[in-house]
Chain A
Amino acid sequence: MMHDKEYYSKLGFKCGLEIHQRLATAEKLFCKCSTNAQGDLVIARVERRQRAVAGEMGRIDRSTSFESSRGRKFVYSVFNMSSCLVDIDEEPPHEVNREAVETALMFASAFGASVPDEIEPMRKEVVDGSDPSAFQRSMMVAYGGEISAGNSRIPITSIFLEEESSGIERTEGNTVFYSIDRIGVPLIEIDTAPSISTPEEAKAVALAIGSALRLTGKKGEHGISGGAMRGIGTIRQDVNVSISGGTRVEIKGLQEVELMDLFIENEVERQRRLIEIQKKLKSRGAEVSRMPKDVTSLLSKASGKVISGALSSGGIALAALLGGFSGLLGEEINPGRRLGSEISDYAKMAGVNGIIHSDEDLSKYGIGESLRLEINNAIGALSSDAFIIIVAEKAACSAAIEFALSRARMSLSEVPPETRSVADTKLGTTRFMRPLPGGSRMYPETDSTPIGVSREYYESIKKQTVYPSERIERLNSDINNRQIAGQMAMSPKLQLYEYITSKVKGVNLVVATTLLEKMKELERSGAATETDRGVLVEIFNKYASGKITKAAIGEILRLSPKSPDAVDLIIKEHSLAKMTKEQLIREVKSIESSGGKDIIKEIMSKHRLNVDGDELSAIIGVGK
C-alpha cells in the first residue's frame, strides 16, 4: 500500500526522527564504571518507588504524572563491575566523562552543527522506573546542521548527550524488574526536523544518520577509532509522526530500520482512522459515562474461564457505558488493532489484563445474548451504545476503568499525543506506552556543573575528526577494491581493520577479506569467535613478512591462539610455516626427477598451506 509523495503531502504528513546511538567509551557518562557488562554478576537487588515531581518551571509533566499514578514498584539488579552507587542513585554523579563529551562534539561537527558556549547538564524526569534516580541526565550539545539522504537534505534540529537507561528484565503484576548494568552508558541522540516527506524517505534518512555515526572517527595512535558502539541494541530509532487533524505521536525503540516505513505508514493510517471515528462519534452525539457500575453479581453468571477465574479470586467487575459508540470499538484502525485495543492499552496501565467490549464476540467470555441484555439494562445502554467491562482485583479494576474511560473520552475530540511502543514487529503495529512528554519534565542537574565549550576547543576536536567521506576515500585507496572497501565501511569490523592496518603495512586487502569473509565463516562454524586484536596483528605480521601464506591465516585462526606468543607455537606444531624459496626449488626438483607431470598440482595438494602459488609459478617459469 505504498503511497506517493503527493498522498502524504495532502494528508499534512509530518515526520521527524530521533536516532539514539551508544558511544564507544570505556567508562560511563557520570561515573567510572565499565561500559562493558559482559559476564558481570548481580550482587544485590534493590526495591524503589518513584513519584512525579515538579520541573524547573514548577509544573508536573503529563507523562510523569501519568506514570506516577500507576503506583508501581521497581526492583533493580545491581552489578559488580558495571554498576556503582551513582547508578543506583546512592551517590552524586562524578565529573562528566570528557571522552564522551568530545565524541558527541565530534559527531556534532560531522553534521555541521553549531555548539552552545556552555553545555547545561539537565535532568529529564522519567518515572517509569527505567532510571533509579527517576531522571535521565541529558544535555544539549549542538543544534543546527543537516543530513543528506539521496536527493533530500533534512535539517538536524538538536543533538543531545545523555545516559542510557536500564534494561527491563520482566514485569510481575505491579512490579517491574530492571538491570542497571548498562545504565549511564553515554548515548548520543540526533533529532531531525519534522520535514521528512514520506515513510521511505524516513528510512533513507535513518540509514544515512546511522552510516554517518558509524563512519565518523577520531585520529589516534592506533589508527582511527570510531565513536559509536557497534552491535545489537546499540542504535535505536524513534519516529515522530503526525497528520493534519491528528497529533504528534512518537514511536519508540525501533531497532530494525528496515521496517521503519511500515510502522510509519501504519501510524498515518491509525491517525486517519481515528479522525474518521472521531467525526462519526461527533455526528452521533456520542458521550462517555463518568460513572462505572459494579456488575460483579451479573457477571458471575458468565461461564467463561477468564471472568469466572478473576471473580473467584476476589475480583470485581465494573462496566461503563459508551453512548453512541456501537460498532466503532470494533472498527479496525491498523492490522489486528481496533479502537477497543487503544482503550484496552490504557486500562492495562493499571495492571489488568485488558477490557471486554460490546463490539467483541462476547460468547468467548461466556456472555450469552440474554446476559448481554441484562448488562445493557444495568447500565442503561441502547442498541446504538457500547459498553466496556473490566474484571480484576478491586483497586486495579477501579483504576483501570478510569484510565480506559479517559481514553474513550479522548476519542471524541482528539488523537491523543502519545509515546507508543512496538506491538507487533511483523505487522508493524504499535501500542500506547505513555502520554507524550513535554518540556515541563526538565530540571537542571544541580549535582554537576555546566561544561564550557570554547570555539577553540570545538575547533581542536574538529581537527582530530575523520569524516565519513574521508574515511571511505581512505578505505578505497588502501584496499584498492571498491566492493571490499564498501563492505568494510559498513562492517562492524571496521575499527578492528583500522587498528590492524595501523600496525601492519602493505597487506590491507588481505586483512579486509580475512575479516569480512574468513572470520565470518569461522564465527559461523563456532570456531574463533572473539580473537584478540594483538593475535590478529601477530598473524598478519607473519604474513606480511613472508613467514606464512595467505592460506595459512585461516588455519591459524581456526586453531584460535589465545595470545600473540601462541601464534608461533601453533605455526610450529601444525607445520604452517611458509616454505622458503630454497625448500620450494628443492621440492620442485625432486618431483621433476621422479617424473611428476603436473608439478603445481602435486605440490599444492601436498603443501597447500605452506606454499605461495604465485611464487611456485614463478619458480617453474609458468606465468599466469
Chain B
Amino acid sequence: MYSAEVQGILSKLGINVGDSISVALGSDFQEGILMPRSGAGDSSILIIKRKDGYNIGIRYRAGMRIEKTASGKPEFSFPSSGVAQGPGLPKISMIYTGGTIGSKVDYSTGGVYMLTKPEELLHEVPELGGIANVNISNLMSIASEDMTYIEWAKIAEETAKALNGGARGVVITHGTDTMHYTSAALSFMLKGLNSPVVITGSQRSSDRGSSDAFYNLICSCIAATRSDVAEVSICMHSSSSDDKNNLIRGTKARKMHTSRRDAFKPVNNHPICTIDEHGMIEYISEYRHALDKPKDRVSAITGFEPKVALLKAYPNSDPAIIDYYVNKGYKGIIIEGTGLGHVPSAPSIAGLSWIGGVKAAVDSGVVVGITSQCLYGRANKSVYRNLRLLSDAGAVHCEDMLPEVAYVKLGFLIGNYGMEGAAKMLTTNIAGEITARTEFDFPVG
C-alpha cells in the first residue's frame, strides 16, 4: 500500500482508494480513480486509473495539489452470481481449494491471488449449468505449494461426504504445482470409490479471457457427470489447444512444464480417456469402472505419517542427509536414484557412498524405497552390481512408481498400516500406481 507519508496526506484530504481525484503540479494535470498501490512498485507513487482505463503512476511531490472530485466504492469485486443450477441434470460437487484457477490481481504484491468467492468462477463459465447441477463447496483457498497432508485429509473427507451424500461425481479445483501429489494422496485415501473424482486447475489465471480454466472446468464437469471412471484423476489440456483434455490416473500424473496448458502428462501410463467440450469421451486405456450398485459407501482413510522424506541422489551428494533424517526420527525415506535406481556406491571420494547410510537406516527400522529420477521406466534391483548392493542393504525398489507417488504412498501406508505393513505394501499396487508391464507405447515426455 502507500507509504506512510502519502497515506497521511490522503487521509488528511479525506481521500480513500476508489475515490476520483485530480492531481496537479505546474501545468501537469491528471484525473482519475485512485487505485490501490501494489507492493511491486514505489510506495510514494500514486496509481491513478484514467477514464480510458489506463493506470499511471504519479509521484507525490511538494506543492502538488490533490483534490477529491467524487467518492467511489472502496471494494473491487467481481460481479456476484448465483450458483449454476441445471434442473434435472446430475448432481455433482465442486470442491474449491484455491490455486491459479480462481486467481485475480492481489494489490498487496501486484501478482495474482486466489478468489475468496469461488462462485465467481461459475459466472464466467455459464456452460456448466447445462452440464450438471453443481454444488459448490468452498473448502479452502490455498496455493498448491502450501498444501500439506492436513489439507489432503480434509479434501478426502469432503469428497467422501459429497459422494455419500448422493453426488454423481466430484470436481476438485486445485493449484497445479502439487496437484499430482494431491491426486496420489486422494487415490490412496478414498476407499470404496465408485464415482469419478476429477481434479482440475489452470495454468493461466481465470481473470484472462484466454484462461484454460474455462475449458478445464467444462471437461472436468463432463467427466464427473458422464464418465464411469471410478478413480481419482487429473483433467487438464492434452495439448496447447483448447480442443481436448486428458483424464490422467491420479497416481500416474506429473506436472512436466512450468507454464504450458498441457503440463500434466501420464508417466508410464496412457491417459484413461480424452474429453472435449461437446461431451465426446474417448476411452484409451483400462480403468476401474463404476458399478451400478456399489457395495460400500466411500470412506476416507486419512492417516498420514509426516516423518517421511524424499531425497535425490546426484553426483557429489552427501549421504549424511540420510543420517540426519534417521536421527530426527523419520520412519520412511524415498530416494530418487539415478538411472535404474542407483545411488553413489563406490565413488572415488571417501565418504560419499550412500550404501552404508541406507543400510544403517534400514537396520534402524526405516523403510527405504528407491525410485528413478528418469521418471519414465522402471527401477531395477539387479542389473548392476551397485543395484544389488543397494538391495542387499535393504532398500526396496519401487517398480515404475513416480518418486512423488512413492513418497505419498509411504506416508499413507505408515500412517495407516504401521511400519511392517508399509514395508510389505510399498511395492504392491493399490491404486494403479504400479503397472505390471511397461508398455512399449507409453509416450516419453
Partner of A54, one of B78, B210, B243: B78
Chain A residues within an 8 Å CB radius of B77: 58
Decide yes or no: A140 and B78 within 8 Å by CB, A46-B240, A47-B242, A452-B42 being known contacts. no
Q: Are A118 and B259 in contact (CB under 8 A)?
A: no
A-B contact pairs, 8 of them (CB 8 A): A58-B77, A90-B203, A135-B210, A439-B49, A442-B49, A444-B38, A446-B106, A447-B111
> Any chain A CB within 8 A of the CB of B388?
no
> Any chain A CB within 8 A of the CB of B58?
yes
> Any chain A CB within 8 A of the CB of B207?
yes
Partner of A51, one of B30, B40, B112, B124: B124
Q: Are B242 and A118 in contact (CB under 8 A)?
A: no
Chain B residues within an 8 Å CB radius of A51: 124, 209, 214
Additional A-B contact list (9), CB under 8 Å, known A47-B242, A118-B45: A53-B211, A85-B259, A91-B260, A116-B56, A120-B56, A442-B49, A443-B105, A446-B205, A450-B110
B40-64 residues with Cβ-Cβ distance < 8 A to A are 40-42, 45, 47, 49-59
CB distance from B110 to the nearest CB of A (A): 6
Residue of chain A at shortest CB distance from B52: A439
> Any chain A CB within 8 A of the CB of B159?
no
> Any chain B CB within 8 A of the CB of A360?
no
> Any chain A CB within 8 A of the CB of B292?
no
> Any chain B CB within 8 A of the CB of A538?
no
Decide yes or no: A57 and B76 within 8 Å by CB, A117-B45, A443-B105 being known contacts. yes
Q: Are B207 and A53 in contact (CB under 8 A)?
A: yes
> Any chain B CB within 8 A of the CB of A155?
no
Q: Are B58 and A117 in contact (CB under 8 A)?
A: yes
Partner of B210, one of A134, A138, A439: A134
C-beta contact mask, B14-40 vs A, less than 8 Å → 1, else 0?
000000000000011010010100101
Q: Are B210 and A58 in contact (CB under 8 A)?
A: no
Decide yes or no: A64 and B209 within 8 Å by CB, A51-B124, A89-B204, A450-B40 being known contacts. yes
Residue of chain B at shortest CB distance from A68: B209
Q: Are A53 and B261 in contact (CB under 8 A)?
A: no
Residue of chain A at shortest CB distance from B124: A53
> Any chain B CB within 8 A of the CB of A440?
yes
Q: Are B76 and A56 in contact (CB under 8 A)?
A: yes
Instruction: Please count how many residues in chain B sit with their CB below 8 Å of the partner chain's CB atoms.
Output: 52
Q: Are B79 and A446 in contact (CB under 8 A)?
A: no
Q: Are A49 and B51 in contact (CB under 8 A)?
A: no
Q: How far is the CA of A447 from the CA of B106 in the complex (A)?
A: 11
Chain A residues within an 8 Å CB radius of B42: 117-118, 450, 452
Q: How far is the CA of A438 from the CA of B112 in the complex (A)?
A: 24
Chain B residues within an 8 Å CB radius of A429: none
Residue of chain B at shortest CB distance from A440: B53
Decide yes or no: A58 and B76 within 8 Å by CB, A53-B208, A90-B240 being known contacts. yes
CB distance from B266 to the nearest CB of A (A): 20
Q: Are A446 and B57 in contact (CB under 8 A)?
A: no
> Any chain B CB within 8 A of the CB of A535?
no
Partner of A122, one of B53, B240, B258: B53
Partner of B209, one of A56, A134, A439, A452: A134
> Any chain A CB within 8 A of the CB of B133?
no
Q: How far is the CA of A614 from the CA of B242 in the complex (A)?
A: 72
Query: Which positions in A face B, CB cutoff 8 Å?
Result: 44, 46-60, 64, 68, 85, 88-92, 114, 116-120, 122-125, 127, 132-135, 138-140, 143-144, 158, 160, 438-444, 446-447, 449-450, 452
Chain B residues within an 8 Å CB radius of A133: 204, 208, 210
Q: Are A89 and B105 in contact (CB under 8 A)?
A: no
Chain B residues within an 8 Å CB radius of A114: 28
Residue of chain A at shortest CB distance from B59: A117
CB distance from B326 to the nearest CB of A (A): 41
Partner of A442, one of B54, B206, B209, B239: B54
Chain B residues within an 8 Å CB radius of A118: 41-42, 45, 47, 56-59
Residue of chain A at shortest CB distance from B239: A46
Residue of chain B at shortest CB distance from A138: B54
Q: Are B40 and A449 in contact (CB under 8 A)?
A: yes
Chain B residues within an 8 Å CB radius of A441: 53
> Any chain A CB within 8 A of the CB of B241?
yes
Q: How far is the CA of A443 from the CA of B205 in the complex (A)?
A: 13
CB distance from A128 to the nearest CB of B (A): 10
Q: Are A119 and B56 in contact (CB under 8 A)?
A: yes
Chain B residues within an 8 Å CB radius of A138: 54
Chain A residues within an 8 Å CB radius of B260: 85, 90-91
Chain B residues within an 8 Å CB radius of A47: 241-243
Q: Are A446 and B105 in contact (CB under 8 A)?
A: yes
Q: Are A125 and B52 in contact (CB under 8 A)?
A: no
Residue of chain B at shortest CB distance from A64: B209
CB distance from A621 to the nearest CB of B (A): 69
Q: Are A438 and B53 in contact (CB under 8 A)?
A: yes
Chain B residues within an 8 Å CB radius of A68: 209
Residue of chain A at shortest CB distance from B44: A117
Residue of chain B at shortest CB distance from A88: B240
Q: How far is the CA of A132 from the CA of B77 in the complex (A)?
A: 26
CB distance from A622 to the nearest CB of B (A): 67
Residue of chain B at shortest CB distance from A133: B210
Partner of A89, one of B38, B110, B210, B258: B210
CB distance from B34 to the nearest CB of A (A): 13
CB distance from B3 to the nearest CB of A (A): 13
CB distance from B406 to the nearest CB of A (A): 30
> Any chain A CB within 8 A of the CB of B407?
no
Q: Are A158 and B52 in contact (CB under 8 A)?
A: yes
Q: How far is the CA of A552 from the CA of B50 in the complex (A)?
A: 60
Q: How far is the CA of A301 from the CA of B214 in the complex (A)?
A: 44
Q: Are A120 and B54 in contact (CB under 8 A)?
A: yes
CB distance from B345 to the nearest CB of A (A): 40
Chain B residues within an 8 Å CB radius of A117: 42, 45, 57-59
B256-280 residues with Cβ-Cβ distance < 8 A to A are 258-261
Q: How far is the CA of A495 from the CA of B241 in the complex (A)?
A: 42
> Any chain A CB within 8 A of the CB of B215?
yes
Chain B residues within an 8 Å CB radius of A125: 209
Q: Are B40 and A53 in contact (CB under 8 A)?
A: no
CB distance from A63 to the nearest CB of B (A): 12
Q: Are A116 and B240 in contact (CB under 8 A)?
A: no
Chain B residues within an 8 Å CB radius of A439: 49-53
B137-189 residues with Cβ-Cβ distance < 8 A to A are none
Q: Are B54 and A122 in contact (CB under 8 A)?
A: yes
Decide yes or no: A444 and B28 within 8 Å by CB, A53-B207, A90-B260 being known contacts. no
CB distance from B19 to the nearest CB of A (A): 13
For B30, B203, B210, the residue with the greatest tally of chain A CB atoms inside 10 Å of its CB is: B210
Question: A-B pairs with the 6 shortest C-beta distances?
Answer: A118-B57, A442-B53, A134-B209, A439-B53, A450-B41, A134-B210
Q: Are A48 and B58 in contact (CB under 8 A)?
A: no
Q: How far is the CA of A462 from the CA of B340 in the complex (A)?
A: 62
CB distance from B265 to the nearest CB of A (A): 15
Q: How far is the CA of A85 from the CA of B259 in the complex (A)?
A: 9
Residue of chain B at shortest CB distance from A50: B209
Decide yes or no: A446 and B242 within 8 Å by CB, A58-B77, A116-B57 being known contacts. no
Decide yes or no: A120 and B55 within 8 Å by CB, A56-B105, A90-B240, A452-B42 being known contacts. yes
Decide yes or no: A49 and B240 within 8 Å by CB, A90-B261, A120-B55, A132-B210 being known contacts. no
Decide yes or no: A144 and B210 within 8 Å by CB, A90-B259, A438-B53 being known contacts. no
Partner of A135, one of B54, B55, B208, B240: B208
Q: Are B215 and A120 in contact (CB under 8 A)?
A: no
Partner of B110, one of A55, A442, A449: A449
Q: Are A134 and B55 in contact (CB under 8 A)?
A: no
Partner of A46, one of B56, B110, B208, B241: B241
Q: How far is the CA of A314 from the CA of B117 in the complex (A)?
A: 44
